[in-house]
């Protein structure tokens, strides 16, 4: 039985660029473009109307920018939320990209990305898999996150209180930027077990993805 088609929305204030993405998406048997929007306000209306699985979201647009739209769309939605946002940017090392990742965007793409990278990122985001720009996203976090000094033991306990000892171990390893494969090797666990623990961490801390763990750890002095 074939997997359901991944429904994608494209948000960009340049109609030609948006049309190109739409054509690329529609040419794939497992993807469908459910609509395009020219600004963040239109994006929110489009998502409410069409319920896409993935949104390609330009960050710099009139009326409402992509960062605000991303924040509104993902607010209060945990890792099992139905929507994944991929930020579109012309500049990789951009504070707006950091803002989108902090708000819960699953990944980002630069506008000069190859078609293969665009399609790979859409599919990976939908399935919760690693994306081609994962390491670059961590670089953006390290550059723009405001790091605090290491927290006191009592404060650290309070921040991580919802987590079990094993989940705290997973939190620390994810915060260091390790992949599930690397964590499995380090902790002598199967990747499936690691994935289960990481999902529990995300749910208990009300986060959508691993990048948010890195941001949280970095900004609260929970990682060296």
Paired tokens of 136: 């670059």
* In a shared domain, residues 135 and 109: yes
Q: At 89, is the secondary structure helix, strand, or coil?
A: strand
* In a shared domain, residues 10 and 94: yes
Q: What is the pLDDT of residue 81?
A: 65
The widest CA-to-CA distance across the chain, in whole angstroms, is: 54
Cα–Cα dist 2/13, whole Å:
34
Per-residue pLDDT reduced to its tens digit, 147-174: 766 666 777 778 899 999 999 999 999 9
Q: Determine the structural domain holding residue 96 and report its residue range.
A: 6-143
- For the whole model, what pTM was predicted? 0.88
Per-residue pLDDT reduced to its tens digit, 85-110: 999 999 877 888 999 999 999 999 99
Q: What is the pLDDT of residue 92?
A: 76
* In a shared domain, residues 128 and 163: no
* In a shared domain, residues 205 and 171: yes
Judge whether 1 lies within some domain: no
Residues in the chain where the model's pLDDT stays below 70: 1-2, 76-81, 148-152, 224
Q: What is the pLDDT of residue 80?
A: 60
Per 3-state DSSP, what percentage of the chain is helix, strand, and coil (rounded to 5)?
A: 50, 10, 35
Q: Which residue has the tokens 């790091």?
A: 147
Cα–Cα dist 94/113, whole Å:
16
């Amino acid at each position: 039985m074939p997997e359901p088609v991944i429904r994608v929305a494209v948000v960009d204030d340049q109609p030609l660029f948006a049309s190109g993405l739409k054509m690329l998406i529609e040419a794939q048997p497992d993807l469908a473009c459910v609509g395009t929007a020219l600004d963040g306000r239109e994006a929110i209306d489009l998502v409410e109307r069409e319920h896409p699985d993935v949104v390609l979201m330009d960050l710099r647009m009139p009326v409402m920018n992509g960062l605000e739209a991303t924040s509104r769309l993902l607010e209060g939605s945990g890792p099992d939320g139905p929507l994944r946002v991929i930020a579109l940017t012309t500049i990789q090392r951009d504070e707006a990209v950091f803002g989108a990742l902090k708000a819960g965007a699953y990944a980002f793409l630069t506008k000069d990305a190859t078609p293969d990278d665009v399609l790979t990122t859409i599919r990976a985001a939908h399935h919760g898999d690693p994306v081609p720009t994962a390491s670059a996203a961590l670089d953006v976090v390290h550059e723009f996150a405001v790091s605090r000094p290491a927290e006191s033991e009592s404060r650290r306990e309070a921040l991580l209180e919802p987590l079990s000892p094993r989940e705290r171990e997973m939190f620390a390893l994810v915060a260091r930027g390790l992949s599930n494969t690397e964590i499995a090797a380090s902790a002598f666990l199967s990747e499936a077990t690691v994935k289960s623990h990481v999902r529990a961490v995300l749910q208990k801390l009300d986060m959508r993805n691993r990048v948010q763990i890195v941001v949280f750890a970095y900004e609260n002095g929970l990682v060296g």
